[in-house]
Structure formats: structure tokens, C-alpha cells
Chains A and B, each alone.
Chain A
Amino acid sequence: MSGLATPRVRLPRSVRAGEAFEVRTLIEHPMETGLRRDGARAVPRDMLASLTVAFEGEEVFAAEFRNGTAANPFHVFHLRLPRSGELVFTWTDERGRTARLAQRITVA
């Protein structure tokens, strides 16, 4: 089994100080609950467990996924950052595999 898909994140490269900005995240993943059947065969469970978003090493946003999260998890939320720095997005599946994306944002 290969690793997780490459995630996509959309956020501005730079914002004004104090400005709230939108973050959109998407990762391709089947989010198989293990409850579904393909003919006679039960499709094995294969789920992402979480998404964490950290700014300069500190968690700013997190999601814990359960069976009701759709395939290809997509999220929109808003952040406001005190200074320039790096946002790191990490998706972790239930077997501990991760997909990581880092993006620098300038607060001017």
C-alpha cells in the first residue's frame, strides 16, 4: 500500500496584520469505514484519523474524523495570525501514515 495522496491547501501568501483569511484544504482519500460491501466482500477499513494545522509548531486548528466524514475530506476555516511564519498541515490515517504540507505566510 502506497502512502497518502498529496494534499492541496489554498490560502493567501501574504495578509495584512490582524486580517482574517480563509483556508481551504482537500486531500484525496476513500475514507472507507469498513461497513461497506463490494458484492460479497466487505471493503476493509481505511480512514484518516485527523488533520492538524500548526503555526510555528503550535496547533491552531484540528479535526478528528469519524465515519461520517465524506471521502476526499474538504474543509474551510478562517485564521488570523500574529506574525509571519509557517503553517504546517498534517493528515494522519488510522495506521499512522501521514501527509504533510507546509506553507509560509507573510503578515505585513
Chain B
Amino acid sequence: MTPRRTLLVGLALLPLPSLAAEETLAAAIAAVVRERAVREGGMAITAPSVAENGGQVPVTVTVDAPQDATLRATAIHLFATRNPTPGIVSFRLSAAVAKPEVTTRIRLAEEQVVITIAEMSDGTVRRAAASVRVTTGGCLT
């Protein structure tokens, strides 16, 4: 191997954690959204602005929709922007789900933005985000 090639291989092996994390998040969201346009809003995340325990953060996602034959949320996804991995949970909502609202508890490693994506029965996609501060990180402790 020439010194130059050795250098290139060496650079390729260097960890790039922040960049890698962002790519993983973008890829995870893209896998859900696919080629559809995303509308900002039309839904909301309710979470504490400061969570005492990052290991158990209560989160409620509410979509603005009548949840009837005219328009309903068919899927709700949650993503973490600064956890070791971005995926939190994906919900599938049938026509028997009476409200476009789900409550769960999530873990957050540190202060970060939580992103939610909703897929609607008319084929549209919505997005909302909320910032949560965390007193004690919940992923690696």
C-alpha cells in the first residue's frame, strides 16, 4: 500500500459519530416518508419541557383530524434526534381507533428534539417536533 492509500483507508475507518447519527435519523425518517411531501404541523407532541428521568419520559402525540372516513391518521412514528439510535416506536391505527392520539413513554439519552411523523388516510404526511430537556439521561445508565 502506498502511504497515500494507507491514509485514505485510515480516514475511512475514523468514526464520525455525529454525522453518522444524523444520517441514520434521516434514513429512518426517509424510510417512513418515502417520496411524499411532508407538511409541518397538523399534529403535536405533548411532553414535559424538562424530564427528570430520561429513561421514562411520558409523551402524547395528537393529530388534528376527525379520525373518521373523511380523514384519519393511519400511522404515527416517533424519532429521537440525539439518542444512540433514532427509532422510538411506530404505531399502526386501524379505522377502529377512535382518536388520532397515542400516549407512550420513551427514553432520551440527553436534551434533544423529538420528531413525530403521521401518515394520513389521504396519503399525506405530517411532521411535528418538541424539545425536551433531560435531567438524567435514560439510554446508557
* Size class of the A contact interface (CB-based, 8 Å): 20 to 34
CB of A80 within 8 A of CB of B87, answer no
* Size class of the B contact interface (CB-based, 8 Å): 35 or more
- Within 8 Å of chain B (Cβ to Cβ): is A8? no
CB of A74 within 8 A of CB of B89, answer no
CA distance A22 to B139 in the complex (A): 30
CB of B96 within 8 A of CB of A55, answer yes
CB of A60 within 8 A of CB of B102, answer no
Nearest CB of B to A48, in Å: 10
List residues of chain A with CB within 8 A of the CB of B96: 55, 60-61, 79-82
CB of A59 within 8 A of CB of B94, answer yes
CA distance A31 to B99 in the complex (A): 27
- Show the binding face of A for B, using Cβ within 8 Å: 20-21, 31, 33, 35-37, 55, 58-82
